[in-house]
Amino acid sequence: LKSVMRVILLVAICSCLVVGSAGEKAKKKKSLADYTEADLERLYDEWEENDDEKLEEDELPLHKQKLKVANLDELKNKAASPEELMKLSKKGQTLMMFVNVEDPERPGEKSIREFTDKWTGIWQSNLYNNHVDAQVFIIDDNRAIFMFKDGEQAFEAKDFLVKQPYVVEVSLEGQRFPGPLGGAKTEL
C-alpha cells in the first residue's frame, strides 16, 4: 500500500511539473501580433539589460554623446582668418542665423509673409541640395531664422544668402552681413 501511494504521489508530482512547464512554453510562444505595448517595452528593457556591448560614441543619441571641446590653440593654427576660426570653433554645435527679406516690388512694406515664406523655402532647398541642412522658421513677416545642427555649415549658408537678390541682411554670431538690398557690414 505504501509503495502504491509513493507511485501515485510520484506520478502526481511529475504530471504537475509537465503541466507547469507546458504552461510556461505556451506562454513563451505568444504570437507577435498578440504582444501589447507593455510587453514590447518589457522585452526591450530586458534586451537592453542583457546587452553587454557598449555603443560607439557616434552611434549614441545626440544628447548622450560627449561634447568635443575644440582646442583653441590648434584652431588658431589651422585658421587663416578670424571668420575661419569662428567656423572651425562652431563645428558640431547648433547655430542660428537671422535673415531679413524685402520684396523689391513693395519696398519698405512689412506685410510680405507669403513672399518671405516662398523665398526662404527656395533657399532652404538650394542649401539642402548643396548638403547644407537647415531648418527655417519664419519669425516675422520679413524675417526668418535658419537653424543649423552643424554650425560650420552656417558660414557656407551665409555666403550663399548674402548673394540672394531679396536679402536685406544676414545676422550671424553678432555680426551683420548686408545682402544686395542692405547697406554696409556692421557688428552688433
pLDDT digits (tens, 9 = 90+) for 3-35: 776 767 667 676 666 665 555 555 567 777 888
- DSSP code at position 66: P
Model pTM score: 0.60
Q: What class has domain 89-187?
A: alpha beta
Q: Residue 56 region, left (φ>0) first, then alpha (ψ -120 to 50), else beta?
A: beta
The closest of 42, 175, 150, 44 to 91, measured between CA atoms, is 150
Dihedral sign for Cα 107, 111, 116, 118, please: negative
Q: Is the pLDDT of residue 126 over 60?
A: yes
Please, which residues have CB within 8 angstroms of residue 125's CB and are 6 or more apart in sequence? none
Bridge partners of 136, per DSSP, are 146
Q: Is the pLDDT of residue 72 over 60?
A: yes
C-beta neighbour count of 188 within 10 angstroms: 7
What phi and psi, each to the nearest 5 degrees, are found at residue 50? -90, 0
Q: Is the pLDDT of residue 188 over 50?
A: no
pLDDT band at 53 (very low <50, low <70, confident <90, very high): confident
In the prediction, which pLDDT does 10 show? 67
Domain positions in the chain are: 89-187
| Alpha helix ranges (H) inside the chain | 2-28, 37-49, 72-78, 82-89, 113-129, 151-161
C-alpha cell at 111: 506685410
What phi and psi, each to the nearest 5 degrees, are found at residue 113? -55, -45
Query: Can you tell me which residue has the cell 539642402?
Result: 128
Residue pLDDT, tens place only, 79-121 = 677 677 777 777 878 899 999 999 888 877 777 899 999 999 9
